[in-house]
Amino acid sequence: MKNIIDNINKAFDHRIRLGIMSILMVNEYADFKMLKEMLGVTDGNLASHVKALEKEEYIRIEKQFIERKPNTRYSVTKNGKVAFEKHIEALEKLIKK
């Protein structure tokens, strides 16, 4: 029998990473300020979690300038979308057991 928690992804264990992915799954992209405000986290805390998700290649980071001000925005990758959907599905199965 398959272990019920096999598809729970360690990369999404932290509530901030879960929040980042949830926001990006329903939006084409989100910038740093938007994520920070929606999640209520500090700059450093958010930066470390997006770095971890980028390392796993679950999110894409784009840096640009808007009216001479730096802007960093994030979007979910195809691999990130698949991994997050599997994670959510595994959580739903666990809850139903």
Q: Map residue 43 onto helix, strand or coil.
A: helix
22-28 contact pairs (CB < 8 A, 24+): 24/59, 24/74, 24/75, 24/76, 24/80, 25/76, 25/81, 25/84, 28/75
> What's the pTM value of the predicted model, to 2 decimals?
0.90
Adjacent-strand bridge partners of 63: 72
pLDDT digits (tens, 9 = 90+) for 26-58: 999 999 999 999 999 999 999 999 999 999 999
- The domain 10-96 having CATH identifier 1.20.1050.10: the answer here is no
- Return d(Cα 13, Cα 19) in angstroms, integer: 10
